[in-house]
Amino acid sequence: MIRELTFASAIHLAAVLPAVVLGAAQMLRPKGTRSHVALGRAWVAALGIAAVSSFWITGISSGGRFSVIHLLSIFVLFNLAAAIWFVRRGNVSAHRKFMIGTVLGLMGAGAGALAPGRFLHQLLF
């Protein structure tokens, strides 16, 4: 049985889907270009919306409370802020590390979201 898509879940999915596409484009394209900066800003905005909207998604397996997965949202928000802070100060190496860390963390989350029994798995399969 597919669970009901809540408003918060709809916002979350609407932000995650472009973030996946933009993130893949960012990983494949040259770094430091104007398009990298523009795509990066859109990616950060989409991920920020996805992370913040997740705090209204509760109760799936936690009895209406926050769950361990919400730690990922905190991780993403921290990493995005740190990556922006570092690149604005010219520390491209630290910026790169925070962004790669964010992508790797999100890949793990995406795999978990597609696990059997999860809403996204039910929705897609």
Residue 45 belongs to some domain of the structure: yes
Series of mean pLDDT values for 10-residue runs along the chain (125 residues): 73 92 91 94 96 83 70 93 97 96 86 74 74
Whether residue 96 lies inside any domain: the answer is yes
What pLDDT score does 61 carry?
Answer: 58
Residues spanned by the domain of 29 = 7-124
Spatial separation of the C-alpha atoms in residues 32 and 18, rounded to whole Å: 21
pLDDT of residue 1: 41
Number of domains in the chain: 1
In a domain, 95, yes or no: yes
Rounded to whole angstroms, the Cα distance separating 48 from 51 reads 5
Distance CA 79, CA 33 (A): 21
**In a domain? residue 2:** no
